[in-house]
Amino acid sequence: MKKLIGLCIVVALLSTGAPVAAKKEADVKAPPVLAEADRATPDGRLVLSNLYQREIETSVFVDPVARTPYGGTGWYGGWGWIRGIENNNQDVIAARLVAAAERNAVPVRTALSDFDTDTLALATTKAALAKPDWFQARGVTGSSDVFAISKADFLAQNAAAQIAFVRYRYDLSPDFTQIRVLAMLSIERQQLGKDGKPAGQPVAIYRQNIMSIAQMRAPSYEARDNAKRWAADNGKLAKAALTAAFGQFERLIPFALGLSQAQLTAFNDKNSTKAFAGGYYGTLVARDADQPDAVLIWKNGLVHVQPVG
Amino acid sequence: MKLSLSLAAAATMVAALGVSASAQETPAASPAVEPGCELHVFPSLEGKAMTTGWLSGFGVIGAVADAAKNKNRNISEAEYLKEALGPRLQVQALKGIDLPAQLKLPPSKVVYETAIADRNITTKAATRLSSSTAPCYAELIVTQNFYTKKAIYGRSLNNRFVFKDFRTGKDKATLVKGRGGNGLSAFPPKTTDETEAAETDLRSAFAKNFVEFAKGVTPAK
């Protein structure tokens, strides 16, 4: 049960707001804009591209449980007890939702079992980082197992002025109407000793999260039915969604890396033009010229939503 | 066991109804003429349940005892409510009502959208929540599904709604918020035999709650 609740917290974090969700990754504060002085790197950058998972993850929507007027945390001891009971109710409901989502995901996972997401992720990183002239990716190392090449090992083995990390996660939305891919970008400046070897902790100089969502056209209100649609015909739609969602990063990653402080300020302006897409509400950045239903918004990071199917 | 059986029955019934989300269009006016106006409806994913007994009348100690006593009931009834009045069934209930007429709108094409989980969006966002650019456009959002059972007042279903009328031509609409609450006589069912009656009761209360809310809605000026 504890394991389930733990998993539930993870998926809840993922589901509550993609770019926001990866806050845990951003323990070290780093700006979402790369300073002009940090762009040029004579020796180029090393890149580590990670895909954190073996199969598509699930997420759940856990709405707050009903609370009694007594459920506060006042000095009256009883209030805390009630809050404890209510919080436990929420945990029980969350655990059951996680179990149901895991059951519903089985056909999608089976259909995607022969789909090489690792290769797709690595190819996406390479294609995306080749686009900005100034980026100068010296080499892109891919790993589908975070433990096979840990960040610490990678840093210890590789000397470069800057190292870029592109980490991906992908999941199904709680209602199974979307396949979402989250890319977590970060760039760190390595401290090099006199001998040219890494010395000391690297400094994070850039961090941004991008969400790319493939949304099923005319979905059902039932997650089970949507799962069947993703999985039908050997996962044709799920594979197309993943390909489309990863494909967007080829232009979103260069766009995110090139953002200026002025653009960011405009995106965060509370009077900016807003748009709703894929469950997110944020500043409208652009509507795709080739498909009017596809939209790019800014909600603490870039969120791109495109219809599939 | 009874409850799980009735859940299964509800699921079967739900599957049989076969309503799909997003871009589900229902012309509310004469089918011969396509209405120029659009009403986009967003059902709710929410399902909350709260049973309180006489003990809650005895201060904090009583409330603690009440919360502990009704813990499992609150969980199972919230889960049941999500099944029996999930987005698909809300849409089913609303399809039985002339929504544009109730909301004092001209004949409109009713489009059922995917439910939105984030309450900050459903209760605060003043702009359109769909990509439609129709000049005659309105939104109806269900923001709460709440079953309560109280010692004095008995069982009831409470719903909250938000109505946004964009016919003024502005990008942002005023959020008209309101609620409806009606008593329940057959929900939740005690045995599987009562499942159908209970769910009809629930959806009927939901429809009445909407009509109650719609009475207070005035067209945007």
Query: In chain A, what are the domain boundaries?
Result: 19-60+111-308
Q: Mark yes or no for CB contact B23/A273 under 8 Å.
A: no
Q: Mark yes or no for CB contact B60/A78 under 8 Å.
A: yes
The answer to whether position B179 is within a domain reads yes
Q: Torsion-angle region of residue A97: left (phi > 0), alpha (psi -120 to 50) or beta?
A: alpha
Domain residues for B123?
A: 2-215
Helical packing angle, B195-215 and B2-17, nearest 10°: 60
**pLDDT tens column, A201-230:** 788 999 999 999 999 999 999 999 999 999
On chain A, the residues whose CB falls within 8 A of the CB of B7 are none
Query: Does the structure show a pLDDT above 80 at B128?
Result: yes
Mean pLDDT of chain B, nearest integer: 80
Q: What is the pLDDT of residue B51?
A: 75
Question: For the residues B120-136, what does the mean pLDDT come to?
Answer: 93
Cβ–Cβ contact A222 with B under 8 A:
yes
List all residues of chain B from 149 to 208 with a beta carbon under 8 Å from chain A: 171
On chain B, the residues whose CB falls within 8 A of the CB of A14 are none
The answer to whether position B220 is within a domain reads no
Instruction: Quote the CA–CA distance of A289 and A97 in Å, as a whole number.
Output: 38
String of b and e for A41-56 (b: at least 16 CB within 10 Å)? beeebbbbbbbbbeeb
The answer to whether position B54 is within a domain reads yes
On chain A, the residues whose CB falls within 8 A of the CB of B26 are none
Where would I find the H helices in B116-166?
Answer: 119-124
Q: Tokens standing for B137?
A: 């456009």
The size of the A-B interface in CB pairs under 8 A is 121
- Structurally, how many domains does chain B consist of? 1
Q: What is the pTM of this model?
A: 0.82
The answer to whether position B128 is within a domain reads yes
Per-residue DSSP letter, A24: G
From first to last of the 309 residues of chain A, give the pLDDT tens digit. 444 444 444 444 444 444 544 444 444 578 999 998 888 888 889 999 988 788 999 999 887 666 665 544 444 445 566 666 666 777 888 888 899 999 999 999 999 999 999 999 999 999 999 999 899 888 888 876 555 666 777 777 777 788 999 999 999 999 999 999 999 999 998 877 777 677 777 889 999 999 999 999 999 999 999 999 999 999 999 999 999 999 999 999 999 999 999 999 999 998 999 999 999 999 999 998 888 789 999 999 999 999 999
**pLDDT tens column, B141-193:** 999 888 888 777 788 999 999 999 999 888 899 999 999 999 999 888 888 88
Q: Mark yes or no for CB contact B45/A66 under 8 Å.
A: no
